[in-house]
Each structure stands twice: as structure tokens, then as C-alpha cells.
Structure 1
Amino acid sequence: MKTSQQVLKHHYAKLMVLNQIKHSNVPFIPSLKPFDFSLDREVALAVIKQHKGKALKILHENWRNDRELVLKAISNDAFASGEYVGKVLRRDRNFVKELVQVKNNWVLLKDMDEDFRQDEEICRAALDCNPRAIKYVLNQYLLNNREYMLKIVSQCGILLEYVGYSLKNNREINLAALKQTPKAFQFVGNVLFKDEEISSFSTLDNSIELRIKSISGKELRFFADPNNTFNMIRWRVAEEWNIGNEFRIIHNSKVMSMEDDEKTLQELEINSNSKLVMVFRLVGG
């Protein structure tokens, strides 16, 4: 049983800790031996009040699994990360569904378990909160649902990039995206390039037309923003031809290196006149 003197010391120590937290620029819980305040709820709340989502990184696992505290920490924090949400909560379907519906928290879908990113109800909740959540949706039914994807691209045309494979060349969806923003032209399905109405949007966008040939004679044609990274082009090739990452692209007789992946097409001087060839990389090459 604590003596009155011990209680008083603990009280003043806690006041000092709360004061330090209030004036701190980084999330932390001061150590004042022999007292340990890492399991003190009031202290945890003080860190959250001061640092919002960043607080989760240093809080005890008990608090990272506390539904109320976690929601308080990341609500309306556009920079919050789901990485530090406790393991118990991350496996709680109801919590995840509630989490992705909070303003700005749709982005946390990316940090959730793959099972939840495939869960139709959770994905719908995130998408209804913000259509940009489509970047992290793995539910193929939704991604290939014509009516639902039409709704998404009508709100934000650039999200045409993420619609399901079966809808890549759907005229109605592509046209809706282009009418929302001509910038969606870089993600238009290859089959639709000959469509007169759709191709007319190319003049409204600053996209450049790229043609990539394979040594087997295949040719891939698509449009890209000059500010796109070269890695995005590699991703497009891998997706369209359904191949892995074991390939290289030759640009005007030069093999593009891995260091080039993060450079923009403009930096690499890649344009509509560039000769691009895809070759498979030799093992060790």
C-alpha cells in the first residue's frame, strides 16, 4: 500500500511528465524513475493530443490496441499511418471498417491485412469515403464492376489507372474519365486509341505517345505523362504483357538501368520519337 508521501511524489512526477509532453516537438514519454508512465492512460492521451497519429509509434502496445485511443490518434490526421495500429485491432474487421470511413483515413486501407483489402464491404466503405482509396483496393469484383467503376472515374478521371482488367477497354468508362479530366488519357485502353471521340482528348493533354516493341515482334502502344517516372512505364509493360520484372527496356540503343527507374521521362529525354525495345534480362545480367 502506497504511503501518502509516495502518492504525492507520483502525482508531482506525473505533472512534470504531462508538462514535458505538452511542450515537446516529438512524441515521447519522459522517464522519471522509479515511476513508469507508459501504462498511464492520461499520459497516453496527452501524447495523442499533442502529436496525433505519430503518437502511436511510441505508445505501449496496450494503447495501440485501444479502440478509442487509436481512433482519437488518427482521426483527421492526413499523415497518420496504420503501421503502428496494434495487431489485435488490425485483425478486427469492425474496427477496420470503421477506421477507413473516418475523414482522411481511407488511405490507411493500404496498411491493413490483405484479407481486408479484398473485403467488399470494407472496400466499399473506403471508396465511399474517398474514391482515391481505389489505389489500395484488392477486391476484384468491385474493380471489375462497370457501374461502380463508372461512378469512381466520373468523380476522379485519373483513377482510370486502377480499374479492373476487364474494364480497361470499356468505352463508357474511358470516356467518362476523359470528360472528368483529359489527363486520364494516359490510362486509356489500347483498343480505344482508334476511337475518334476518345482520341480527340489527346490534344487536350500533354501526354506523349510511346511505342514499345519486343524482340518477338509484339508492339505496345500507350500514352504517358512526361512527368511519369520510368518505373511506371516498366509497370505498364509488365501489366499489359503479363510478365514479371525480369526484363529491361532499351532506349535508342541504350539499356535503361535500375537507377533510371525513378527518373522522369522528361529527364531521360524519352518522347514520342524514342525507339523503345523490351528484352528479357539474362540471369545475373
Structure 2
Amino acid sequence: MKKIAGIAFIACIIGIIGIVFFREDLFAIGDYEKITENKTFDASNIEALDVAVNVADTTIEQSADSSIHVHLVGKVSERTQKQMKYEVYEEAGTVIIQLNQTGAQWFNFSILPSLSFNKLDLVIQLPDKMFKKLMLSSDVAELNILYGDFQSVNITSDVGDIQIENTKTSQVTIEADDGDIDIENGLGSWEITSDVGDTDISLDTWNNDVLIYTNVGEIDVELPVLPNQFKMDLASDVGEVETTGIPQSREASDDDNVYLEIGADGPLLQLKSDVGDVGVSVE
């Protein structure tokens, strides 16, 4: 009972501190500014995208034409609008998008659900074209890549879920501090590092190395078929390691970690979780 009371007391203190620091946003009813920014680029000379957002959910989707469209929509308090710096421009074949909010609010108060908080959405629409590179970084935001064709993708995220689907990639690197990662119909090589959060990935083909490391979180990988030659290195310090549809002639240690090598070559699937289950299944 004392423990519960202590937790409640700490939560109350955090709430009071939050109200003190963000009182202007909390009680700015009717004082929100609507944001609508649009920019269009000719995609013919664009080879890369460099996107850095402080606090704005970001979605990449298919364009209805052959141009690149960038939309920023939402509403923010007058104070937040004054703190915002938003830039969209092209430089040396790269579309650069930067959204920065100094003193940005990074949490909401569930005890006050009726209040409206700052909410921004960045939508990037891409045509049917292969781009050399996508660089995407965020502080607190959900990242949804729903369409695109990229040789290289580099994502860094502090807080927020990451979703990638219907996207052609040759090489992807993801570094996430806190948030779930969901990949559907993945292509190419993958290197994912996560501190806290579950990682789910389904591959269309497994021809390249897939490396996934997490401190706290489950890892689940779904493969279409097994290549003739491959290596698997599956490990969890605190959690179970399970495989479905994988040949049973494999080496397993006393702690149920799995190392499997078929042939002398082929792609590597290396999954390691400090705390969390690890699973691999073949359709």
C-alpha cells in the first residue's frame, strides 16, 4: 500500500511540474494557430531527401503525379508557433526538410483529455522514382514510410514508433531509443538497433544480411523461404528463442540460443535481445 501511495505521489508531483512548465499550452483554449504549409519540387533532379523533425509525426506516401510534395499541417499554440523554425528547400539535388521547436512539449497529460495539445503532421509525397538516399531523424514522433524506392535509408529516432511498408530498399539502418518497429515486405539488408521496443519484420526475400539488436523488447522475423545457404545466430539473455519451419539439425546452447549454418556462404540473420523473446518463422 505504501508503494502504491509513493508511486501516486511521484505521479502527482510530475503532473504539477508539467502544468507549471506547460501552463500556457494547457490553458490556451481558443488560442491555437492553424498551420498549413505546402511546397512542391520537380523530382527529375532530386536524388536524396534529408528530413529532421523535432516534434511532428511524419508520413511518406505516394505522390499523385511526378512531383515531390511536402505538406505540414496541424495546430499549435501561439507560443509554440513563435518557437518553431520550419525550412524546406533543395540543395545540390537533395530536398532538405527541417522542423525544430525550441522547448518542444514531449508528453501529454492523460488526466486532461479534453484539452487540445500541439499537433503537427508532416506528409511527404514521392513519385515513382528511385532515390539514392533517405535520411530521416526525429526527436519525438511517429515515422511512417508507406511508399518509396531508395538505395539507402538511414533512420534515427529518440521516441516514437516506426512503420515501413510497400517500400523498395537496398540497405536500411535504423537506430531507435524508445518505440516499436514494424516492417512489412522488407527488401535488401537491414541493421536495426533499439533500446526499448518490439521489432517485427517480414521479408519479401532474404538475400542480404539482417542484423537486429535490442536491449529490452521482443524480436520477430518472418521469412518467405530459406535460401540454399545461410547463417542464423539467435540469442536472448532473458527470454525464449523459438523457430518455426527451420530445419531441426541445428546447434542450441544450454540457454536455448540458436546458431545454425547451412553451406559456406549466404546471408546472415543475427537477432539478439537482452530482455525479450526472439522468434523466427518461415512461411
TM value normalised by structure 1? 0.35
**More helix, by proportion:** 1
Which one has more relative contact order, counting CA pairs under 8 Å at least 6 apart? 2
**More strand, by proportion:** 2
TM value normalised by structure 2? 0.35
The structure with the larger Rg is 1
